[in-house]
Amino acid sequence: MLELSLVLLLIALMSGLVAPRLWSRLINDPLESSGRRLAGSIGQAGDLACREQRPVRLRLVGGTHVLLEDPASGKPFAHFDYIFPPEVVLRDFVALAGSRSTDEPQLLFSPKGTVGAATLTLADRRGRRLLLELEPFLGTVSLRRQDGRPLAPAL
């Protein structure tokens, strides 16, 4: 009986050490956190365009840097930029017309805060992919894993 209690105590101690690290790794996954952050930036761009009553451009520089800027002047808005972690990159960008972007990917938000339909694909070094789908009529950004399962509810 004493041996069983000791084994259970050791298992409890070891899981107490391992579980926080495992939980932290699941929460801080660079691909998923970058997808959530990009979805948040898209939402912020629409809100900013609506609030300022002028167009706003979200530009992805080099596939790793998200920047919100005024399309007329090209001047970036303060506090609205994000750089992906080194292991995450924008792999693909398909705009409303169904054509793949060969230039720098960008989304133009109207003064009403609307944007055309688009699909962005983020990837990491392990080959995992995350799709961001912009629905202009619903005004949502949905996140999906490479197997089609939703990552989070639509924003």
In a domain, 18, yes or no: no
In a domain, 101, yes or no: yes
In a domain, 95, yes or no: yes
In a domain, 12, yes or no: no
In a domain, 4, yes or no: no
Please answer whether residues 122 and 133 qualify as being in contact, where contact means their C-beta atoms are separated by less than 8 angstroms. Answer: no
- Whole-number pLDDT of residue 53: 93
Model confidence at 130, pLDDT cuts 50, 70, 90, reads very high
Specify the pTM: 0.74
Model confidence at 16, pLDDT cuts 50, 70, 90, reads confident
**d(Cα 112, Cα 45) in Å, to the nearest integer?**
11
The CATH number linked to 94 is: 3.55.40.10
Residue 75 CA from chain centroid, whole number: 23
Residue type, 9: L
- Please indicate whether residue 154 or residue 115 has the higher confidence score (pLDDT): 115
Q: For the chain, how many residues are written?
A: 155
DSSP single-letter state for residue 43: H
DSSP single-letter state for residue 99: P
* Domain assignment of residue 36, given as a range: 30-152
In a domain, 81, yes or no: yes
Of all helices (H) and strands (E), which one includes residue 152?
strand 150-152
Number of structural domains the chain divides into = 1
Please answer whether residues 39 and 143 qualify as being in contact, where contact means their C-beta atoms are separated by less than 8 angstroms. Answer: yes
Of all helices (H) and strands (E), which one includes residue 34?
helix 30-52
pLDDT per position as a tens digit, 25-74: 656 788 888 898 888 888 888 899 999 899 999 888 887 888 888 888 88
pLDDT per position as a tens digit, 95-120: 775 445 557 788 889 999 888 889 99
